[in-house]
Amino acid sequence: MISSSESLRALITELSNLPGIGNKSAARLAYYIANAPKEKIEALVDSIKKVSSNIKRCKVCFTFSDNEICDICSSDKRDKSKIMVVENERDMLAYENTGEYKGVYHVLGGALSPLLGIGPSDLKIKELMARLSQDVTEVIIATNSSIEGETTATYLAKLIKQLGIKVSRIASGVPVGGDIENIDDATLMKAYNGRQVL
């Protein structure tokens, strides 16, 4: 990227290192920042700094939080008897956005992967097991539908069943609005095997 200004060039480089921001978007953002009123950019910078320096992990579910315990774990409107296990905060956000789920979460911080050398002790599995008191009636495993996600699900299901707690796995199949002819074999087999009686 060539630009007439050293500081703009530096900003474009910094921005293009962000996830999902290519060279063109980085340039567009940099020019926007150069053009925008200073107060507007100061507000943006303050928000960034606040998150970068103050954010914590919730001591219960390990999602991002401003306090020791996150807003969801500390809410009395959430059903503490259901724990949904997710790989990361983005997956948790995706479920939160549906507005359907009223239980609480547990963020593992990834999935088991022998290939990448990620074992049970690298994830918040010990911490999940410690949460499984008598009050918990169901653990919903919402790890990804990848090899790593499935491995993690199987591993967790085995551990949790030993405690006599109900374990469920989110359904895998044809996405809503999905065209069957364009869907891969593995998904179609999952959809077939997971068929439900009407």
CB of 194 to its own copies, least distance (A): 27
> How many angstroms separate the CA atoms of 189 and 28, rounded?
44
User: What residues contact 180, with CB distance under 8 A and at least 6 apart?
Assistant: 174, 188
Q: Which residues bind its own copies (CB under 8 A)?
A: 1-8, 10-11, 14-15, 18-21, 25, 27-34, 36, 38, 41-45, 47-55, 58, 61, 63-66, 70-73, 88-90, 92-93, 96-97, 99
CB of 103 to its own copies, least distance (A): 14
Smaller CB separation from its own copies, 131 or 190 = 131
Tokens coding 54: 């103050």
Please spell the DSSP secondary structure of 56-100, one letter per residue: EE-TTT-SEESSSS-TTTT-TTSEEEEEEEESSHHHHHHHHHHS-
Would you call 198 exposed, middle or buried from its count of C-beta atoms within 10 A (0-12, 13-18, 19+)? exposed
> How many angstroms separate the CA atoms of 3 and 10, rounded?
10
Smaller CB separation from its own copies, 11 or 160 = 11
CB of 30 to its own copies, least distance (A): 7
CB of 113 to its own copies, least distance (A): 18
Smaller CB separation from its own copies, 51 or 116 = 51
CB of 12 to its own copies, least distance (A): 9
Tokens coding 158: 């085995």
Closest CA to 19 of 90, 71, 83, 77: 90
Smaller CB separation from its own copies, 61 or 140 = 61
CB of 58 to its own copies, least distance (A): 7
Smaller CB separation from its own copies, 67 or 81 = 67
Smaller CB separation from its own copies, 50 or 158 = 50
